[in-house]
Amino acid sequence: MANMKIKAKASGSVVKAKVMIKHDMLTYDQAKAKGKDANFITHITAKAGGKVVLDMSTSQFLSKNPLIKFNFSTEGLKKGDKLEMSWTDLSGKTVTEDKDIKGLK
């Protein structure tokens, strides 16, 4: 089962990326009400062509199944390169998935 839906398309010198992460994002308040442990994404990283193109620390402010949109340069990328996305949550679980970047020459 996929934990992310990744779309990345190069247009000129820019890659436009959209990533939907499947995660319940259980905040401290929600967890207390449900009698569970809080669990939300704490870190998201994206790499392309061996370079980090996005690195963000997050907290419980993200919605359930967050959608992340970002752009980055095509400099140093070649046809066949992939966008690799990783996230880590409060429980320590790390998920990494990748997808070909469309439109690279």
* Domain-wise residue ranges, the chain: 4-98
pTM of the model: 0.92
In words, the CATH class of domain 4-98 is mainly beta
Residue closest to 20 by CA, chosen among 83, 62, 65, 54: 65
pLDDT per residue over 16-54, tens digit each?
Answer: 999 999 999 999 999 999 999 999 999 999 999 999 999
Q: How far apart are CA 88 and CA 105, in angstroms?
A: 32
